[in-house]
Amino acid sequence: MKAMVEEVPDVVVARLPLYLRALNFLTEEGISVISSGELADRLGLSAAQIRKDLSHFGDFGKQGSGYAVGYLRQQLREILNLQDAWDVALVGAGDLGHALVHYGGFIGHGFRIRLVFDNNPQKIGRELGGLTILSPALMKEEIRRLQMRLAIIAVPAAAAQRVTDELIEAGVEAILSYAPITLQVPPNIHMQYIDPVVYLQHMTFYLK
């Protein structure tokens, strides 16, 4: 049974996709039952952590018999609202945008890039991964028409806030931004950021 969203700490939610990813690999490997200890080893976490995290959502493992991989995987997909694939709008068709459109990891894991926008007149109208690159002038209209709630931003930092504001105005509720800047958004909008420099600097702290 799914707990109330309010009750689950965000750090726990952040780990659920990692559990699901590991269960996907186990399925590919033909493993149907796994102990919390084995799952913990694969994830570099403790078994106690995994049991505690999952206990927010129900009782998924019998003491001593481990987790049923298929069942837990199915439950996690439901908890993460992945029953149907989400349409995603991508803003920015530069090098990174190209890599994202061609990335094979979205399909099958709940996501499908459905719209691509770029403000470069030389790119507008061209095809990218089976999609036609659209002008940002069409962004609000198209996103509203398709009732899309998810977007990925792959534009330079200087353009990111304006794009964010327009996406939110169009109805987008969750944004993954690759722009290296913290964006200002209303409290009801979900944001995640990917900036390789931030991750590299996090590690150089530890390198004397």
Sign of CA dihedral 50, 56, 62, 67: negative
32, 46, 132, 184: which one contacts a second copy (CB under 8 A)?
A: 184
Residue of 149, 139, 99, 100 lying closest to 118 (CA atoms) = 139
26, 50, 100, 139: which one contacts a second copy (CB under 8 A)?
A: 100
**Distance between CA atoms of residues 154 and 151, nearest Å:** 10
**DSSP-derived 3-state class of residue 142:** helix
* 110 counts as binding a second copy under rule CB under 8 A: yes
Site for a second copy, residues 16 to 35, rule: CB under 8 A: 16-18, 20-22, 25
Stretch that binds a second copy, among 12-20, 64-72, 117-125, 138-146 (CB under 8 A): 12-20
* 99 counts as binding a second copy under rule CB under 8 A: yes
**DSSP-derived 3-state class of residue 42:** helix
The DSSP annotation for 33-82 comes to EE-HHHHHHHHTS-HHHHHHHHHTT---EETTTEEEHHHHHHHHHHHTT-
Stretch that binds a second copy, among 47-55, 58-66, 118-126, 148-156 (CB under 8 A): 148-156
Residue type, 85: A
**Distance between CA atoms of residues 46 and 68, nearest Å:** 19
Output the smallest distance, CB 103 to a second copy, in A.
7
46, 55, 132, 201: which one contacts a second copy (CB under 8 A)?
A: 201
47, 86, 166, 168: which one contacts a second copy (CB under 8 A)?
A: 86
**DSSP-derived 3-state class of residue 163:** helix
CB closer to a second copy out of 33 and 194: 194
- The answer to whether 80 touches 16, Cβ cutoff 8 Å, is yes
Binding site for a second copy (CB under 8 A): 5, 13-14, 16-18, 20-22, 25, 42-44, 79-82, 86, 88, 94-96, 98-100, 102-103, 105-106, 109-111, 149-150, 152, 157, 173-174, 176, 180-182, 184, 190, 192, 194-208
